[in-house]
Each structure stands twice: as structure tokens, then as C-alpha cells.
Structure 1
Amino acid sequence: MESFRTLIKGWLGKVLLVLFLTPLALVGIEGYFSGSNKADVAKSVNGQDISNKELESATKNYKDQYLSMVKGDESLLNLPVIQNKALDALVTRALLQQQAEKLGISLSDAQLEQMLAQQPSFQENGKFSEQLYGNYLRSVGMTNQSLLASLRQDHALKMISSTLMDYALVSKSDLQQLANLQTEQRTLHLASIKLDDYKKGLTASNQEITDYYNKHKGEFKQVAAVDVDYVVLTPSLLPQTNLAVTDADLKQAYQAFVEKQQKEAKREVKHILITTDTRDAAAAQKLANDVYAKIQAGMTFAQAAAQFSEDPSSKDQGGLVDAYAPGIFSTDFDNAVNALKNGQVSKPVKTQYGYHIIEANTQTVTIPSFEAEKARLTAEVEKTKSANLFSDTVNNLNEMVVGGDSLDAVVQEVKAARVESAKGVTLTTQNPYLSDLNVKAKIFSDDVKNGDRNASSNIQLANGDTIWIKVRDYHPAGIKPLAQATAEVKAKVIEDKAYKAAKAKMSTILADFKTQPAAQVIAKSNVTFENAGVFVRSQGLKRAIERAAFSIPAPTKEGMWSATTAKLPNELVIVAVSNVNANVASELPQEQLTELTKLYQQFRGQQILEDYTEYLKSHAKIK
């Protein structure tokens, strides 16, 4: 039913959405094993330290979530609040992990290894692949044991959380009440009384303005805003002169293209790994040196890899590292690869995995001819010359703007440019230039807040254009002073008087609805009612009207209406209810009742989990 679908979009659905956007597992698996010292501790939970590195990682995860909600505009985020939220989540996670350990919630290595073996990403032809698993471990910089320990902690956390959340009990009476409230249908009739006629002749004294302001200061909050002048420079505003492409330009561009192709040619990397898993570092180094000597004496690299390498994913492939990319092993490993000539074998290189003997070969690259690339290079050179012209112009103008503290220098040199002005610009501005993140960072910087009113140096916009700005005035966030808000306060005082006058005039109609049939009341009232239709909660009504419509009792008799008023800007609305259908919930199909039960159970489970963690916090030593 539509009323049930409305439930998912309504208040309960919104509450659940907010709750589930706050996961407990905020950091990657490497966060569990980041070492820390006491100077690097953000919080201690029963003696277990939360490092600043963990907090930084958790904050970034939260920040990324919220950035997706504001389309990447970091200026709209309250970073201190996000950091506090992340820290609280880390404390919660630590407490739940500690409690899981006390309760003995854990999986053995054998159970975890069985789970890993069943992961499709680690399987090849339906069987567990040591090579795929080894590639994964290298990509995340972990050993098998550290991954198992991480998964063990993660599983324990999920077990204790899901036990609390997934098995919350909900009573039938609570569920029935929720279904009744959300599905109840009311037939509404609305009459709009405009306040303009009631405002005629009304005034507001200075004392009334002052009294209203002091009583309702919260209505006069303002966000930070600036008044700003700006000028935008685009390449299209510049005369496109001296951009002809010469033969020398093309030959130089082709030579650079050839060198780039050669430099980016893919390298095939092979290695022989001697680990320290079953021997100490000295023994591993000695064995690696012995293997290197055998290769120098004539043993092929493939033979040495098959006999000595302890990397199961590459030893049977002649030591080939599939899909090698910088960073897989270490910087020292990458430096050794880059230093090798084709077919050359390195001396043993130490990494966190042990000692590596490396061979690297560059694949042959087929480079297109000059003629084949001429058209593309011509367009590329033209684009580069245009960009250089624009860059040089910006640099020259920048000196004039900053040196003269004036934006006029731009329009004097570039006749097509214009200085624009904008007042009351906030962080949520939709101005196509002032909404740029770099621009907002400048106009709402601490320097501007502290009085800087100088013309800025050039700021590059996201699309490559350039802008200069000059803040004329800065209006800090907070309560508007009365002097600034007087006109707004006066309008509110007059509207409040008009609303009270209109409500007083309508009081007779409201009283008549209580004792007389609706048709009789309407006939003598000269007020026009519109049949608005049948509504349930959270179905798109204005909030004031919905609150009024669902706060009044059902009519006592057929033909009678229950009525009240709602206040909207410059409008009083009489809200009348002619019929209430409270039996819709009993007609809900079983699958919808099941879904409602599940939603409510999740909601209650989240509440229980929050209550449980608050209990743990109250008995924990957190400092």
C-alpha cells in the first residue's frame, strides 16, 4: 500500500538511514596493527591505546562519507565535529572488542583459513589459489598471521554487535501502534487566510521591536557571509596571436613523445624471495648471497627461482611477479628494478618480506612514425601555446593586481573582462565562480575574518580559468545585532499581530465546528475551503499543516469536522478533518507487516546497542 511505502520514506526510515550511516568498523584492517607510542595516543580505553594514526584514518572515512553527501565541498563540513564523532566510534569499537574478548567470542586460525579459502576472489578454477592470496597480502602490506588476527577482531566485533542488534525484541502492541500511526488516513480540508489585509494600519514601536528581538534571538541567526568583488579571466578573452605551429615545434614535440614512450615501456619483473619465516635475518642474507653467486656462476634465473624462491605465487613461473607495480614490495625493491639494465640481476635487496634477487626486462615498444602523429601533435602544440599565453598573461596581471591592490588592472589590460560584485555570499553559494572550493577557502579564510581586505593573488578555478577577488566586508556567523536586524524584526512583529488578529476573527468559526455540521458552518462563514484529499503522516504536507492535521481528534459525528489553525509565512490556514480511517493497518498484507517488523526491530536493536555501549563507557577508564 502507498501508506506503507510512505513509512519507508517517512520519519522511521530517515532515522534508520542516519543510524546506519554510522558504521562501527571505520578503519581499514591496517588500523588494527598501527604501532604507537605514548606521545601518539589520542585516547586510552581501559589501557588500550587508540593512536592518532587510527583517529586520522577514521576521521578520513567519516569525512569521505559526508563529502559524498555535499558533492565533495569540504567547506561545508564541520571538521572538529567529524573528528569527535570518529573518536567516539573508535572508543565504542575498542569497548566492544574488549567485551567480546571477555565473553570468549573468537574464531580459530583453522576457521578463519577455511573462510578465506571460500572467498571467490582467492579462487581459481574453483580451488583456493596461493598465488591470488599472496598477491592480495602484498597489495595490502600484510602477512598471513596479521590478516588472520585482523579478521578475528573484526569477526568478534560483528558478532557482539549483531547479537545485540539482530535479536532485539519488539512487542506486538508497540508494532501495532506504530502501524496505526503511520497508516492512519485523514481527509483534509484547508482554508487559506492571507494576512495582507490584516497588516493594513499595523505598526511596531521601538519597544515592541526590542522586546521581540530579545525574546526570539534564535530567529535572527546568520551564517558567515562576505560582500566581494571579483574578476574572472578565461583563455577565450585573450587575443589568440603568435600561436602558429612551426616544423621545429613539431619535431621537438615528436622527440618528447618518443622519449616518453620509451620511458613508460612496461618492465617485466622477476624475483627470488628468501624469507625470514624459518630463519634469522643473517641466515636469510647468507642464503640469498649464495643463490646470487650460483646465478652469476651460470645457473639460470628460472632454475634458481624454482629451487630456492619461497614466493609460492611466482617460483613456478621463473620468478615472474604478475602485474608488478611500484609499491608492492618496498621503495628499495622499486629502486633496484629501476637501476637494472635488461637481463641484469641485482644483488640481494632487503624488504619486510626478506631478501629478494631481482631480474628486470623492458618490453619492446612500437613507436608510431612522425607522419602518423603529426595531426595529434599539431593540436597538442597549439593547445600548449595557448595555455602558455594564458599563463604568462595571468602572471603579468597578477603583479599589477597585487601591487596596485585593485581588480581594475585586469579590465584595463583585457578589455573583454568585467569586475563583478556579490553581496551576502555564504559557504552554500551557487555562484559558478565563488562556489569554487579554492575561492571559498580564500574568502572565508582566517585572514579575511581578521580584517584582510586586499585584492587576492590569482586563484585557479576547477575548470582552469583564473579569478581575482577582493573582499569588501565580512559578516561573522552568529546572532544578527538588533541594528542590522531591525527591519526583519519589525516585519515579524507586524506579521505576528496580523496572525493574532486573523486567528481571533476565525475563533468563531472554530467554535462553531465543535457544535454544528460543517456544511452549516461553511455556509455562514464566507470562508472558502479546499478539499485537499486523503493523507497519511509524512506524505508531503507542509510541516505546520501536518502537525495541525494529526494533532486534532477525529470528528464525533458524520458531517462534523474537527478544525484548528496552522501558521505559515504571511498566511493563516484553517485545517479541518472530516474523516479518519484508523483501520488501514489491519488490512496490510503479511509481507508488509513482516517488513515493518524488521525495520522496527533494527531500530530497537540500534537503540539497545547504543545503550549497551553507553553502559560500557560508564564503567570504563577512558582518558
Structure 2
Amino acid sequence: MESFRKVIKGWLGKILLVLFLTPLALVGIEGYFSSGQSKDAVKSVNGQDITQKELDSLTDTFKKQYLSYVNGDETLLNQNFIKNKAMDTLIARTLLLQQAEKLGISLSDTQIEQMIAQQPSFQANGKFSEQLYSNYLQSVGMTSPALIANLRQDHALKMLTATFTDYTLVSQLDIRQIAALQAEQRTLHLASIQLDEYKPAVKVSAKEIADYYAKHKNSFKQAESVDVDYVELTPANIAPASTQVTDAELQQAYAQFVETQKKEAKVSVKHILITADTRSDAEAKKLAADVSAKIKAGLSFAQAAAQYSDDPASKNAGGQVAAYDKGVFGDSFDQAVSALKVGETSAPVKTQYGYHLIQAESAQLKLPSFETEKPRLMAELQKSKTANAFSDAVNSLNELVVGSDDLSVITQEVKGVQVQSVKGLTLSAQHPVLSDPAVKVKLFNEDVKSGDRNASGNIQLTNGNVVWVKVRNHVSAGVQTLAAATPAVKAKLIDQKAYEAAKAKIQTTLNEFKVQPASSVVAKNKIAFVDAGVFTRSEGRLKREIERAAFSLNTPKAGMWSVTTAALPGEMVVVAVSAVDKSAVDAIPAEQLQELTKLYQQLRGQQELDDYTQYLKAHAKLK
């Protein structure tokens, strides 16, 4: 623990540190990285600002989560919804933090230090490792004071929200009732009556159509759509004049390969760090100069690092920086590394961490011979020639398309391709070419909405092919007009009236099931029931309409059936329940009941937390 305190309170506390503890569900991890001190406030919560940086950061986090659900297609995201969700989350987090502070919910510095020191990723042989910790620090994170403050906030939130989510009281009677509903088994009998024989007699008036449309307008919403022509071009459609590779081209490619390898070779860097954490800046500067003089006088760099360096990660490794990357220590450090000759030690270099003495040398580079690389270079050059030929052809065709505003010019120039058309394409439609995000950006934009019907320029697809598109017609999102909705309304009303007619025809039989034994009703009527079997709720074997009807019926008396009907497209299904077995709840294992209790408790706890947050919001000053 003492070694950890030295690390976190010393120079390492000034290096950026990523917050590795599990973040609270109320906020994405990016929420911890904004200082909250910027002037770009977008919302004030009881006088505490939420900044644009915080909102953008959390919005981006949510966007990445949603993108994983739509296979990375950003055109399918509702950007306003995501931004509003991020704002609501930040408001809720701010309110809960303010309430936690009022209630005095907090951890001490010592508790937080213990928590970090006990992280397995920072331990070696069961003990906190300064080297593992500092290696992790050098490329990511936040300052030590910010880390302490945010960990304190994080756990204050967790402790406050846990009072709702972890300690919600639930009734065992409620749990048993829920379990009984889920485990309940119903024996079903089904009969199908086709509606086609009733439809010819059905008449639907224009007034009925208009009245239904007026009452159910929201049922006739239409997504934005386009009618579009397109031409797709593949590299296979374009044959390059020649893919022959000369020896001179191979030699040039090998030379470029060697040059690239040299540029990308990692530099091996050693440093000795003298900080001002326990001394003044002048004292640190003087000590760095003294150490530099001792190295010039013969003291080895490794000995000097072990004796004087304040970097615990490298001092016992000859000063070796484990993974040097530009930017870790700042521009002045990087400039010194670039200027050093092999084996040369720099004069003291000042950075935000203190004063550095630096040694640098290029890593040993082993290059494969020309003959070894020749097959790979040959393949790459041939691929490049093919790609260049394709690119040249695309550029040439693009000029023709844009100049003529006509996709058919491509079919005249390239054999094997043709103009294809799609009607009613929506953003969510799955199409092998037009669903590419780069294409949808061209099909669904403000210019198209405003009437642009020009042929597009070439669009690069993710599979390497190229496509040109031309929108013929655009339909805005909204509610269909009565004229457009009339066919669907008419079909709906015909189905509905046919269903009512079919039900009226068997209503007497349905009534008989209420007062007579099922066997006698079935025997004297022509409704052909099929024994469907035994079902429980939500098992997925029944259509939703049938399941909803079956589990809405009362438990029948012995020898009787509870009966109702369900409407399906073109069909009426008579649904009968002959038996309800509720004893299955007694066979549910204790561990399943325990899991159900836990799930129900979590749902109730989340509801109560949401209610509490809404209460705080209702009494907050939001600007």
C-alpha cells in the first residue's frame, strides 16, 4: 500500500490514466473524462453545468452501442433519439450525484487507494506492482486528483442506486403468482374457418373507408422511400490492358518497402526522470545537470537511472522505456529523441513531468532479401495495375454519366452491365447494392427531398465495386393519403366484415359451449376441432393472436370448454380450452424461483430508481 501511495501521489499522478473500474450503467465510460470546467454548457442542473463535450462524448458512446445492432449502418440510427437519451442520462447522473452528496455518501482516499491497489491487473505475485501500474498509465487516462474524484463519484452513485436496485422488497405471493402464470399449462383445441367464402357478400362503402381511415390514421404511416435506377460496375467488368510487371518496377517496389520498414522501425528509448514532486523546480533542474555531468564523467546510464531516476517503471531496467510512442512525454521529449545519435545522452529536457536525460537508438532491423519479397511484390503490383485500370475506367465513365445525366451510357461503354430499377426502397430495406451505407446517404438526403433527380457520381461500395444511382421518385415519411391507403383500408374492412359474418354464423354454437358439455356441442355441430396439445405462455409454438386468446379464457368446469375466436389474415380460428393445470408451479426448482425473484427484484428496483430520478428532476432547476 505504501508503494502505491508513492506512485499515485508522485510524478505518475500527472500522466493520463484510464478509469478501469466498471462504470455505472447510468453513464458511458467517456462520461468520466470531461473536466466539467469548460464554458460550452448545454444544460444546467441545479446550477451545475452539463457541457457540450460531455453530451457529445456520451452520445458517441450510445451511437457505437446502437451501431452494433444495425451492423454499423449509421443511416438506420435515430440521431435525435440517441442525443436525447444521452442528455437524459447525464441529467439523471447529475441529480443522483447531487443527492448522494447531500446524503453524505462517499469513500475516503484510503478506501479508493486500497481499491485500486487490489486490482488483479496491477498485481504481481499477489502484491501491487509499480511497474505494471506505471506501464498501464503511460498511454491512457486522467490525472490522479481527477481519478480520485471520479472514483468517489462512481461509488457514491453505486451506493445510492444500490439502495433501490439491491434492496427492493418483493412479495413472495407476487413471485408465486408470476411463476404460476408462467408455468400454467392449458390444453387447447383449435378449429379453422376460412373467410374467403364470406368475402363475396361483403360490401364496403366509400364512407366506411373514409371513416376507418380518419379513425386509424396512425395505422397508415409510411416510411420514406425512393424509386431508383442504378448501375453496378465490378473490377471483373474492366479488363486491364496489361498486368505484366517489369524488373525495374519490382526493384522500385522493393526499395520503397525497405524505406517504409526503416521509417516504421521502433526507436529504443531510455530516460532518467528527475521530478519536482519532492523538490523545487530549480533543485530538480540542478540535479538533472549534476547527473548529466556524472554520466559524461564515466557513470553508466543504467547506474545513473537506478540511483537517481524517479520513474519506478524504468529505473531498475537501465532506464528503458517499455513502449515508447510519440506524444507520451510531449513534443520536447520527442524532438530530443529524433535529434540524438546512437549512444549519445541528451542534455536535460524539460516536460510536464520533470527533467529527462535521454538516450535513443534505432531498433535492430532485419530486412528480407529481394528474392524473398519478389513473389509478394509481384502480386501486389499486378493487383495495383488491375485496380488502376478499374479506377481509370470509373473516372472516364463518371464524366459521361454526370455530363449526360444518363446511366445508360455505362451500358453502351461496358459489356455485361445493365440499368436496374427498384421501387419503394426504404432506409431499412435489405438490398445487395442499395443498402450499402454510402449509397443510402446519396438516396436519402435533403437534396433528394428537395427534388434533385440527377444521376449521382460514382459511389464506392464496401465490397470494392462501384455504383451510380438516379432517383426517379421520392416519397416522404408520414401518413398515407386516403387515396393511397384506400386499397389497404378496403381489404382490412372486408376481412373484418367477413370475420364478423363467420362469427355470427357460429355464435349459437359458441353460446352452447357456455352451458353444455363440450362433447355434446362438438357432436351436433360441424366445426372441426383439432387437438392442438398442451401449451404454456410465451413458449413460441402458437401464433400471438391464438396464444393471447387462449390465455385470456377462464378455467373451464369439468367436461366443459372455454371458447373464443381469434382473427388471422383470411382466417378465423376458434380457440377452446378444455383443461388448465396450475400444479406445475409446485414442480419449479427452488433455484429457478430464486432467479425469478432476483429478476423481479431488479425490475422493481429499476422502476423505483427511475421514479426517484423523475422525482428529483421534477423538483430540480433545469435550464
Cα offsets for 1:303-327 (capped at 9, x unmatched): 4433332211112212211122334
Counterpart secondary structure, 1:584: helix
Separation (CA, whole Å) in 2 of partners of 1:388 and 1:282: 61
> Do the aligned partners of residues 217 and 287 (structure 1) sit closer, same or farther apart at CA in structure 2, a change above 3 Å counting?
same
Structure-2 residue corresponding to 1:612: 612
Contact 2:455/2:471 (<8 A) preserved: yes
Structure-2 residue corresponding to 1:587: 587
Cα offsets for 1:486-523 (capped at 9, x unmatched): 22222122222211111211212211111122222222
Counterpart secondary structure, 1:187: strand
Structure-2 residue corresponding to 1:414: 414
Structure-2 residue corresponding to 1:13: none
Structure-1 residue corresponding to 2:302: 302
Separation (CA, whole Å) in 1 of partners of 2:95 and 2:279: 38
Structure-1 residue corresponding to 2:15: none
Q: CA deviation at 1:267?
A: 1.3
Cα offsets for 1:144-172 (capped at 9, x unmatched): 33322222221111111112210100012
Structure-1 residue corresponding to 2:278: 278
Structure-2 residue corresponding to 1:383: 383
Structure-1 residue corresponding to 2:596: 596
Q: Are 1:565 and 2:565 matched, yes or no? A: yes
Counterpart secondary structure, 1:92: helix
> Do the aligned partners of residues 279 and 64 (structure 1) sit closer, same or farther apart at CA in structure 2, a change above 3 Å counting?
same
TM-score (norm 2): 0.92
Contact 2:561/2:578 (<8 A) preserved: yes
> Do the aligned partners of residues 341 and 445 (structure 1) sit closer, same or farther apart at CA in structure 2, a change above 3 Å counting?
farther
Contact 2:209/2:490 (<8 A) preserved: yes
TM-score (norm 1): 0.92
Structure-2 residue corresponding to 1:575: 575
Cα offsets for 1:409-444 (capped at 9, x unmatched): 221111121211111111112111111111111111
Q: CA deviation at 1:588?
A: 1.7
Q: 1:503-518 alignment to 2 at 5 Å?
A: 503-518=503-518
Structure-1 residue corresponding to 2:311: 311
Q: 1:336-415 alignment to 2 at 5 Å?
A: 336-415=336-415
Cα offsets for 1:16-51 (capped at 9, x unmatched): xxxxx99213233742x524333x112222222221
Structure-1 residue corresponding to 2:256: 256
Counterpart secondary structure, 2:392: helix
Separation (CA, whole Å) in 1 of partners of 2:293 and 2:411: 72
Which range moved further: 289-298 or 414-423?
289-298
Q: CA deviation at 1:292?
A: 4.7
Q: CA deviation at 1:207?
A: 2.0
Structure-2 residue corresponding to 1:323: 323
Amino acid at match of 1:460: Q
Select the residue among 25, 31, 43 that pairs with 1:23: 25
Counterpart secondary structure, 1:28: helix
Amino acid at match of 1:302: A
Contact 2:24/2:157 (<8 A) preserved: no
Separation (CA, whole Å) in 2 of partners of 1:25 and 1:265: 40
Q: 1:396-545 alignment to 2 at 5 Å?
A: 396-540=396-540, 541-545=542-546
> Do the aligned partners of residues 339 and 78 (structure 1) sit closer, same or farther apart at CA in structure 2, a change above 3 Å counting?
farther
Cα offsets for 1:372-414 (capped at 9, x unmatched): 1111111111011111111111111111111111111221111
> Do the aligned partners of residues 152 and 553 (structure 1) sit closer, same or farther apart at CA in structure 2, a change above 3 Å counting?
same
Which range moved further: 305-314 or 602-611?
305-314
Q: CA deviation at 1:116?
A: 1.7
Question: Tell me, which stretches of 5 or more residues in structure 1 are unaligned?
Answer: 1-20
Structure-2 residue corresponding to 1:209: 209
Separation (CA, whole Å) in 2 of partners of 1:211 and 1:454: 40
Separation (CA, whole Å) in 1 of partners of 2:282 and 2:451: 64
> Do the aligned partners of residues 311 and 205 (structure 1) sit closer, same or farther apart at CA in structure 2, a change above 3 Å counting?
same
Separation (CA, whole Å) in 2 of partners of 1:555 and 1:78: 48
Structure-2 residue corresponding to 1:18: none
Amino acid at match of 2:152: R
Which range moved further: 324-333 or 166-175?
324-333
Structure-2 residue corresponding to 1:555: 556
Amino acid at match of 1:110: T
Structure-1 residue corresponding to 2:20: none
Separation (CA, whole Å) in 2 of partners of 1:460 and 1:348: 52
Q: CA deviation at 1:140?
A: 2.0
What is the total number of aligned residue pairs between the two structures?
Answer: 600
Structure-1 residue corresponding to 2:16: none
Q: CA deviation at 1:245?
A: 1.0
Q: CA deviation at 1:56?
A: 1.2
Structure-1 residue corresponding to 2:18: none
Which range moved further: 326-335 or 384-393?
326-335
Contact 1:34/1:53 (<8 A) preserved: no
Q: 1:234-253 alignment to 2 at 5 Å?
A: 234-253=234-253
Which range moved further: 522-531 or 426-435?
522-531
CA RMSD between the two structures: 2.1
Separation (CA, whole Å) in 2 of partners of 1:304 and 1:312: 13
Q: CA deviation at 1:291?
A: 4.5
Q: CA deviation at 1:201?
A: 3.8
Amino acid at match of 1:383: K
Counterpart secondary structure, 2:191: strand
> Do the aligned partners of residues 564 and 29 (structure 1) sit closer, same or farther apart at CA in structure 2, a change above 3 Å counting?
closer
Q: CA deviation at 1:173?
A: 1.9
Q: Are 1:138 and 2:131 matched, yes or no? A: no
Separation (CA, whole Å) in 2 of partners of 1:341 and 1:413: 59
Contact 1:186/1:579 (<8 A) preserved: yes
Which range moved further: 469-478 or 210-219?
210-219
Counterpart secondary structure, 1:374: helix
Separation (CA, whole Å) in 2 of partners of 1:278 and 1:615: 49
Q: CA deviation at 1:469?
A: 0.6
> Do the aligned partners of residues 344 and 390 (structure 1) sit closer, same or farther apart at CA in structure 2, a change above 3 Å counting?
farther
Cα offsets for 1:209-262 (capped at 9, x unmatched): 222211221221111111111111110111232111111111111111111111
Separation (CA, whole Å) in 1 of partners of 2:290 and 2:615: 61
> Do the aligned partners of residues 60 and 585 (structure 1) sit closer, same or farther apart at CA in structure 2, a change above 3 Å counting?
same
Cα offsets for 1:470-492 (capped at 9, x unmatched): 11111111111112222222212
Q: CA deviation at 1:279?
A: 4.6
Percentage of matched positions with identical amino acids: 62
Counterpart secondary structure, 1:500: helix
Amino acid at match of 1:545: I
Q: CA deviation at 1:297?
A: 5.9
Separation (CA, whole Å) in 2 of partners of 1:210 and 1:280: 86
Q: 1:33-112 alignment to 2 at 5 Å?
A: 33-38=34-39, 40-112=40-112
Which range moved further: 457-466 or 492-501?
492-501
Amino acid at match of 1:151: L
Separation (CA, whole Å) in 2 of partners of 1:257 and 1:228: 45
Amino acid at match of 1:589: P
> Do the aligned partners of residues 276 and 568 (structure 1) sit closer, same or farther apart at CA in structure 2, a change above 3 Å counting?
farther
Q: CA deviation at 1:346?
A: 4.0
Cα offsets for 1:512-547 (capped at 9, x unmatched): 111122222222321211222111221212222122
Separation (CA, whole Å) in 1 of partners of 2:569 and 2:331: 65
Q: CA deviation at 1:295?
A: 4.6
> Do the aligned partners of residues 185 and 430 (structure 1) sit closer, same or farther apart at CA in structure 2, a change above 3 Å counting?
same
Contact 2:349/2:357 (<8 A) preserved: yes
Amino acid at match of 1:413: E
Contact 2:302/2:319 (<8 A) preserved: yes
Separation (CA, whole Å) in 1 of partners of 2:35 and 2:340: 33
Separation (CA, whole Å) in 2 of partners of 1:22 and 1:538: 32
Separation (CA, whole Å) in 2 of partners of 1:77 and 1:325: 36
Q: CA deviation at 1:362?
A: 0.7
Contact 2:31/2:57 (<8 A) preserved: no
Counterpart secondary structure, 2:469: strand
